[in-house]
Amino acid sequence: MWLSTLLISVLRLLLGASARFESTPDLSGQRIYFVNHTSHIDTLAIMAALPREARLNTKPLAAADYWGKNRFLRYIATRGLNSVLIERKPKEGEDALAPVHQVMTQGASVIIFPEGTRRFQALPGEFKSGLYRLHKAFPQARLVPIYLDNLYRSMPKGKHVPLPIICTIRIGDPLEVIENEEVGPFLSRAREAVVRLAE
């Protein structure tokens, strides 16, 4: 807990990392936050912006091939940010989202980056199917879009320390659920929800 508090305090000092909600948030119940991915500090920025009551039971998803490649990064991810490590290229027969299902079954909310990798530009690329699969497995969880503004400028590719640029985390209203929606239209609509927050 102390490490998370320290990291959040430093980030707020450097970047502001303030949250702007589209409307008064309902923080009750389980949520799947889906976010554009632009830098290695995206997760920390979101956790810094969320109200404390929402942050306590929220677990970001993090790529095991990066955040689990040494003890230091694993400690930061799992102890500092309370992350769930997932394999982006699981072995045949393995479900990359199995650890996520486990924590969501226990009631946790999660943060997912549906692009699957960082994009050093303002708008997100195409979303992969993981978000859809989580939605189908946990239909009771609210789908909350988030747009990270300026994070790609604050920590561009090759930089290891964020530049002191004011960043805003825009948190939208939950995505409307459409019964029996197919994966393609769902992912397009989810991406548009994030893009709309950028405008």
Per-residue pLDDT tens digits for 113-172 = 999 887 777 789 999 999 999 999 999 999 999 998 866 555 555 555 555 566 788 999
**Residue range 15-29: mean pLDDT, rounded:** 77
Q: Find the mean pLDDT for residues 6-18.
A: 59
CA 109 to chain centre: 10
Q: β-pairing, 18-21 with 109-112?
A: unpaired
Handedness of CA 11, 32, 89, 148 (dihedral sign): negative
Dist. CA 47–CA 60, nearest whole Å: 9
Say which residues have a Cβ less than 8 Å from residue 116's Cβ, sequence separation at least 6: 37, 88, 128, 130
pLDDT above 60: residue 181: yes
When comparing pLDDT for 14 and 34, which is higher? 34
Mean pLDDT of the chain, nearest integer: 84
- The predicted structure's pLDDT at residue 20: 84
Cα(108)–Cα(48) distance, integer angstroms:
18
Strand (E) or helix (H) holding 31: strand 31-35
Tokens coding 167: 């960043």
Polymer length of the chain: 199
Q: Are 73 and 160 in contact (CB under 8 A)?
A: no
pLDDT at position 97 is 93
Residue 27 · residue 95 · CB < 8 Å: no
Q: What contacts 113, CB < 8 A, 6 or more positions away?
A: 34, 35, 36, 37, 42, 61
Q: What is the pLDDT of residue 156?
A: 54
More confident residue, 150 or 191: 191
Percent of the chain whose pLDDT exceeds 90 = 43
Whether the predicted pLDDT of 63 surpasses 90: no
Q: Is the pLDDT of residue 198 over 60?
A: yes
In angstroms, the CA 184 to CA 126 distance is 10
* pLDDT mean over 88-92: 81
More confident residue, 18 or 2: 18
